[in-house]
Structure 1
Amino acid sequence: MPETEFERQVRNLISKGYPGIAGLSDDEFRKQLEPLQERLPHLEYIEAGSPHSSIPFAIVIRNDWVDSEKAIQLVQRQGKSGFSVLDLDDINRFKPIEDIRLPSGSAYLIVDIDTGRETLNVTPNDAIQTITGQNRSPLTLEEGIALITHYPDVLMKNNGFSLLGSRGSDRRVTALWISGGKPKLGWCWAGNPHTWLGSASCRYRAGAESGGQA
């Protein structure tokens, strides 16, 4: 049930200390997320077993509440914490690409998520053409961290994923993969393929406001 999964994700964020980092009490944090829960009956996603996704949705907390450097450190996968090779200044250089319009507010949903198995060993430059050709949208840096915050086991040794929805002024793209058994936020060159690295995407984004879909 979507409501059960939404509650699991809210509890997960609270257990990791997200409300305190955002300067909110647990109850205030829940209150802020309630409008997203009201969107659940209206979400459109492909059920498990589709060629695209078995991950219906994930709650994304934007960096005005919890910055990405802190968020990756709060990721836990098989008892090991995530880490980043990028410092906060470098992370903040990566912004949503022009084609992505994020919902308003400090939290929103990404819907019908694919971790990019079809784009393993495909360069990010080519993968983004595949993704947009399927009427999907590449995940941003924040969205990738949100995904593994709620579903850490989707990050696998032979299936990390690039986050093509965020770019800086150079040829780098950020990516998530397993390094030393830990979730790692790093980067690769946009023109280089990797056998173990795909490119993650979602079908769309849903904000708290009615009709707030991107």
Structure 2
Amino acid sequence: MTATTPRTESVGPPTLPPLAAQAERLATLGVLELAGLDAARVRDAVATVDLPGLLVVDRALAPASALAPLLRLGDRPGFVVEDMTDVDAFAPTEGLDVPDSPVYVVTAPDRGDDLGNWSPEEALPELAARGRSPMLLTEGMHWALQVPEVVERSFCYMTIGSRLRRANGTYDARTPAVWISLGTGRDGRERRGAPKVGWCWWRNRHTWLGFASGVDRVAVPLDA
């Protein structure tokens, strides 16, 4: 895909299953084991939460580099682009309220399709004006783990809640995103059609990338 790829019509992202089903899927995929979480405790905890949304494991327990190979589109596993070896260093931006909890829920997830062809620099204040919070990379990846079809050709998304802070306190110009590989360049032909974790420039626009966001992040308390 390129920045000039025309967008086709989309029916919108698929509906997320209930939290209990999401917990089961994370257990089946091995995410809970990866995070060192007891699946039974997570199941019991989400059963007490009467809240629709996206179930997320904290990035410190389930980093992006470990989640990427678990992504799937058809028979193609996900991957991180070769020039993003520092993917796990992309952290929540200043001002984001991320619960200090192993597991939490992102409410009202939205892919931001209407913001296609906006730059991250332009989209961030617009999301704030709408009362929305940009997703972290790992949140966007959890969404794709639950409903792989959310990563849809011509309707993929950036996750600008995660950025890399330089030693001098400024942000790296890269912003992470999740989209579909065309199997060109260093991706390799065997990865054509695979879900891809990569990056875009802060001031660049791409017609086929929206901006994933939610409204709130709510902790799911796990019993001791």
> TM-score if structure 1 supplies the norm length?
0.82
Q: Which residue identity is paired with 1:196?
A: W
Which of 56, 60, 70 is the aligned partner of 2:56?
60
CA shift, 1:78, in A, is 1.9
Aligned with 2:204 (options 189, 192, 200): 192
- CA 1:102–1:37 in structure 2 vs 1: closer, same or farther (change >3 Å)? farther
Q: Percent identity?
A: 31
Structure-2-length-normalised TM-score:
0.79
Residues 4-153 of structure 1: matches in 2 within 5 Å?
A: 5-24=18-37, 28-40=38-50, 43=51, 56-85=52-81, 90-153=86-149
Say whether the 8 Å CA contact 2:135–2:159 is kept in structure 1.
yes
Change (3 A) 1:206 1:152: same
CA contact 2:116–2:210 (8 Å) conserved in 1: yes
In the alignment, the residues of structure 2 paired with residue 107 and residue 132 of structure 1 have an alpha-carbon distance, to the nearest angstrom, of: 24
For residues 57-116 of structure 1, the C-alpha deviation after alignment (integer angstroms, 9 at most, x for no partner) is 111112332221111110122222111115785112211011211112111111101001
Residue aligned with 1:114, SS: coil
Q: Report the CA distance between 1:120 and its aligned residue.
A: 0.3
Cα deviation code 1:140-190 (max 9, x no counterpart):
111111111101101111011111101113111000001121110000001
Does 2:156 match 1:160?
yes
Matched, 1:176 2:188: no
Letter in 2 for 1:161: Y
1:37 Cα deviation (Å)? 3.2
Q: How many residues align?
A: 191
Q: Which residues of structure 2 form unaligned runs of 5+?
A: 1-16, 165-170, 182-191
8 Å CA contact 1:33, 1:107 repeated in 2: no
Q: 1:87 to 1:71 in 2, by over 3 A?
A: farther
Say if 1:36 and 1:207, in contact at 8 Å, map to a contact too. Answer: no
Structure 1 residue 19: Cα displacement: 3.2
In the TM superposition, what is the alpha-carbon distance from 1:33 to its structure 2 partner?
Answer: 4.8
Does structure 1 conserve the Cα–Cα contact (< 8 Å) formed by 2:70 and 2:78? yes
Q: CA distance change for structure 1 residues 117 and 33 in 2, over 3 Å: closer, same or farther?
A: same
Q: Secondary structure at the match of 2:89?
A: coil
Which structure features the higher share of strand residues? 1
Residue type of the alignment partner of 2:58: R
Q: CA RMSD in A?
A: 2.1
**SS of structure 2 residue aligned to 1:92:** helix
Q: Give the structure 2 partner of residue 52 of structure 1.
A: none
Give the 3-state SS of the residue equivalent to 1:15 in structure 2: helix
Q: Which amino acid aligns with 1:183?
A: P
Larger relative contact order (CA 8 Å, sep ≥ 6)? 2
